[in-house]
Structure 1
Amino acid sequence: MATFVPSEILIQFKPGVTEGAKAAVMGVVSGTMKERMHTRTMVAAGAGELDVVKLPPGLNVSTAITRLRNNPSIAIAEPNWVFTTQQTSNDPYYTAAPYRLWGMYGDDSVTPTNQFGSQADEAWASGNVGSTSVVVGIIDEGIDYTHPDLAANIWTNPGEVAANGVDDDANGYIDDIHGWDFFNNDNSIFDGSGDDHGTHVAGTIGGVGGNGQGVAGVAWNVTMISAKFLGPSGGSLADAVEALDYLTNLKTKYGVNLVATNNSWGGGGFSQSLQDAINRAANAGILFIAAAGNDGSNNDSTARYPSNYNNVIAVAAIDSSGNLASFSNYGATDVDLGAPGVGIYSTLPGGTYGSYSGTSMATPHVTGAAALYAAAHPGASANTIRAALLSSAQATPTASLVGKTVTGGRLNVSAAPDVIPPPSLSIGNVSKLEGNKGQTNFTFTVSLSAASSQAVNVQFATAHGTALAGRINDYRAASGTLSFSPGTTSRTITITINADKTSEANETFFINLSNPTNAALGVAKGTGTIVNDDAPFASQAATGTSSSQKSAVAKVDPSPIDVVFSSLADEVVEAALDSVRSKRR
């Protein structure tokens, strides 16, 4: 079982921190900088440099992070978690069956039929087969870009001259013709048979349709960019962040019409640096579509990342009979919808094909559907695409998903373009000093994207993160129903915070929205950050920063966490969390 890199941590400095202050931070842990990242997307967002720091022999990750807790020069300090590929099973019995692409089938006029398929073939029959002007990013293993069912839909960078050894488009990556390999730090997005998971995912999203061979993806016509970060030994958190920022920069600086990223991997604990990268992508109008996980567990009770982050569409897996897959995670507030994920036939390296199972396989059905919607509705915003997908799922109730997902339904590709999305509900984040005595109020704003002629209701409930609820703990738990009268577009929820005089890391809690009526959920999770305003720990004296900086404290994760990040196939992935993490859940 892989864990975080045992002798490395990630440190993100606050903007404007001097080199002297950075050196002082390194001195606290006797660390050496292995790699410094300051992606163009980080720069545009005003974020500081993100360093991969090598620790000296004898200093473990937990101790190093504890020493850095509340250091005023640091924004984030956390383990450099490892994402490890756990291969899906090849099902020869399924591949021998006559109907291999049940995940694409519908239940109306087009044959063969399966009511629990994605209904993609009904969209094709109506003339919507996608558009190569729509782009998606695949953050995964690499892709066999020469596969006959993929080659026509692989992105070619118009700003690069192939193999000239020059960064022609000045994006920081030399000869990134079809994307970038962040695992090996080169431009080779395909390294052989080990890139089967990424190749399989690509075929479900955008296998070329109508060419008389192999398979067809949800979107026959689409452009796919590879952001490879998983290799034979897994992939690191640092590489995942850089991969997502790479794609975001292609949209914000180079105008690439990137509407979504597919993320069929997961595991482990919360990472602020990855949440920040997801937020940067969301601010650029890019959907982050993620696998719910293969533990067969409830994500509402035990968070599964990245699917439990804010600004994510989380996908469960169903089988061809509409059952929630035995391995699939679920969650009435944290998993959005189901999609075909059992016995999914798709492309494999070397021009071959095979059948895999997992929430990894369900997720690209939804990413392909996002591409189809964007093709039929040029210029549609990410929120509009999200609302259309979730509204059509809500209109396609599935018994096994009722009470197990936000929508209670499954992907319905053909319905999504026909749905006029209702107004969407979104909740904002709040960050505020906790105070030294008494209580402080955190006021969260819940907004409706457009006024409705009908009354809108939505349930809400707090959930703990690193902060704990209770009269003598960090905040007061709350739940209830928020009502919008016709024409109203904004309401607020107030949560009471208990002040203290304890110097500690910033702490977070959440408010989850669920079960809306006459509206869809946009951003369904708000984060409250209780900012420490007490004196820093004595261990920070070595940083050389002044006490006047103490209110700008670090967001750190001090707990040692034994985790696995994986491509989400049919293997069971377990995370063993220590007592500190258990307290914080």
Structure 2
Amino acid sequence: MFVGLAAASPTFQPPLFDLEHRVIIKPRPGLSNKAVQATGVQVQDLRSKPPAAAGTLASGVDPLLLRHLEPGASMEQTLLELNSSDDVEWAVEDHIILPARVPNDPLYQKQWAMQRVGAEAAWDFSVGGLLPPAGKVRQPPPAAPPPPSSSASRNSSKIVVCIIDSGVDYQHPQLASTMAAGWGWNALDPSQPPMDVLGHGTHVAGVIAAATNDRGQVAGLTWGPAAGSAVSLLACKFMTDQGFGYTSGAVACFDYCLASGADVISASWSAGTAPNLLLEEAVGKAEAAGVLVVVAAGNQGFNLAEIATYPAAYGLNHPLVLTVGASGVQDEWVEYASWDAVAVHISAPGTTILSTWPGGFVEYSSGTSMAVPFVSGAAALLLAASGRRMSALQVKQVLLETAEQLETHQGRCSSGVGGAL
């Protein structure tokens, strides 16, 4: 049966705040509801429709169970014991995911000391006041995905970019007409729409498809609906308004995007350095469906050949993953962007990017997060121009082959001497 949780010091303790630690469990095939209930372990079935009560399995599905660790429980010991159980096929940590951004302060790039002391890597674990300073921050497990958006389908004339992020302000004057009907899905609370409070997802959305040539504040790469754009956006919200999410939520969003007929998935975040079985499985499903997945290289400044982060490093063995680094105003490779001549494919502008912000505003933001939507938008434009006759792999190849070759990018990304969109 599922073994108990051993008490010990946590293996990972972010500073300043204490995010909940969770484990995703795949029980062995055929394990009965009674067997699960007999363990006394309170779990949530992540694949039941509608979501099952804690401690139960839905019939006729391949279940995944979410287990919340008690305070003081050791993740390492928990995984060791679960994976040693005859009733468990595998158990993995439900990794914490954070957006791949850096401060929008105009002179930040001149603050060499911040980069010298590894501030960006630290911000991947804590940004102080952005998250509650004390107490347990609990995020509910994602619910089962709803029916696909009726307007977002590969049978539709529009190319669909699905943004897996903190949601989108679908009421923003420059985004409202760009969104697919229904706006998308909120994996945190399906009873609520995928409204963005954090700002990250809205900023990404504006780079891709803010309404353009409409006397608004900013322009989007795909021009926007004022001229009858062939691109629409779906938002899948898995990050909280405080700025974090979990693998289980991101994977649920992948399922939603694929069920809704997305042509491109845009993922401006990092799940850290630990191998992530479920996330890679979700990427593999997208690849099998012929969907291009555009991901951020990350802001730690790592050489990904030495320190792999995910999903960035999936580009090494998944042909439909396109990993994006960041360039600066002078076409320089920015110091915070992770790099590798093979794992990172292309760069795009990522410094002081002006785009849409919740509440009808616009705002500057920086990071490989902001570079990703330029590539997602360019991919959508290529698909639209070809009338969907190009495959995702062909789109990726065209982007890499036509990227401008920059000497400053040599050895930093794989497209020739160094590609910049």
The question of a shared fold, defined as TM-score above 0.5 by the shorter chain, is answered with yes
Q: TM-score, normalised by structure 1?
A: 0.54
Alpha-carbon separation, structure 2, partners of 1:278 and 1:303 = 16
Match of 1:406, SS state, is: coil
User: What does residue 61 of structure 1 align with?
Assistant: 75
User: What does residue 120 of structure 2 align with?
Assistant: none
Question: Are residue 210 (structure 1) and residue 228 (structure 2) matched?
Answer: no
Question: Are residue 262 (structure 1) and residue 294 (structure 2) matched?
Answer: no
Does the C-alpha gap of structure 1 residues 329 and 132 become closer, same or farther in structure 2, counting only changes over 3 Å?
A: farther
Superimposed CA distance per residue, residues 500-528 of structure 1 (whole angstroms, 9 cap, x where no aligned partner): xxxxxxxxxxxxxxxxxxxxxxxxxxxxx
Name stretches of at least 5 consecutive residues in structure 2 with no aligned partner. Answer: 1-13, 51-59, 109-155, 224-228
Deviation at 1:71, TM superposition (A): 4.2
Q: Give the length in aligned residue pairs.
A: 337
Identity %: 32
Does the C-alpha gap of structure 1 residues 6 and 357 become closer, same or farther in structure 2, counting only changes over 3 Å?
A: closer
Superimposed CA distance per residue, residues 93-151 of structure 1 (whole angstroms, 9 cap, x where no aligned partner): 89xxxxxxxxxxxxxxxxxxxxxxxxxxxxxxxxxxxx971000001111111111111
Q: Note the 1:347-358 alignment, pairs <5 A.
A: 347-358=356-367
User: What does residue 142 of structure 2 align with?
Assistant: none
Deviation at 1:90, TM superposition (A): 3.2
Cα RMSD (Å): 2.6
The answer on whether the counterparts of 1:14 and 1:48 sit within 8 Å (CA) in structure 2 is no
User: What does residue 129 of structure 2 align with?
Assistant: none
Alpha-carbon separation, structure 2, partners of 1:348 and 1:71 = 48
The residue type equivalent to 1:305 in the other structure is Y
Deviation at 1:58, TM superposition (A): 5.3
Deviation at 1:300, TM superposition (A): 1.1
The residue type equivalent to 1:229 in the other structure is F
Does the C-alpha gap of structure 1 residues 47 and 283 become closer, same or farther in structure 2, counting only changes over 3 Å?
A: farther
Match of 1:347, SS state, is: strand
The residue type equivalent to 1:351 in the other structure is G
Q: Note the 1:99-498 alignment, pairs <5 A.
A: 133-156=158-181, 177-191=182-196, 194-220=197-223, 221=229, 222-233=231-242, 234-251=244-261, 258-268=262-272, 269-309=274-314, 310-311=317-318, 312-379=321-388, 380-393=390-403, 396-407=404-415, 408-412=417-421
The answer on whether the counterparts of 1:35 and 1:53 sit within 8 Å (CA) in structure 2 is no
Superimposed CA distance per residue, residues 543-579 of structure 1 (whole angstroms, 9 cap, x where no aligned partner): xxxxxxxxxxxxxxxxxxxxxxxxxxxxxxxxxxxxx
Does the C-alpha gap of structure 1 residues 13 and 277 become closer, same or farther in structure 2, counting only changes over 3 Å?
A: farther
Q: Which has the higher strand share?
A: 1
Match of 2:373, SS state, is: helix
Q: Greater relative contact order (Cα 8 A, min sep 6): structure 1 or 2?
A: 1
Worse-matched range after superposition: 56-65 or 336-345: 56-65
User: What does residue 22 of structure 2 align with?
Assistant: 8
Does the C-alpha gap of structure 1 residues 39 and 275 become closer, same or farther in structure 2, counting only changes over 3 Å?
A: farther
Deviation at 1:224, TM superposition (A): 0.3
Does the C-alpha gap of structure 1 residues 134 and 343 become closer, same or farther in structure 2, counting only changes over 3 Å?
A: same
Q: Based on CA coordinates, which of the two structures has the bigger radius of gyration?
A: 1
The answer on whether the counterparts of 1:16 and 1:48 sit within 8 Å (CA) in structure 2 is no
Alpha-carbon separation, structure 2, partners of 1:47 and 1:322 = 50
The answer on whether the counterparts of 2:95 and 2:271 sit within 8 Å (CA) in structure 1 is no
The answer on whether the counterparts of 2:27 and 2:87 sit within 8 Å (CA) in structure 1 is yes
Shift >6 Å, 4+ stretches: none
The answer on whether the counterparts of 2:346 and 2:419 sit within 8 Å (CA) in structure 1 is yes
Q: TM-score, normalised by structure 2?
A: 0.74
Does the C-alpha gap of structure 1 residues 148 and 39 become closer, same or farther in structure 2, counting only changes over 3 Å?
A: same
User: What does residue 88 of structure 2 align with?
Assistant: 74
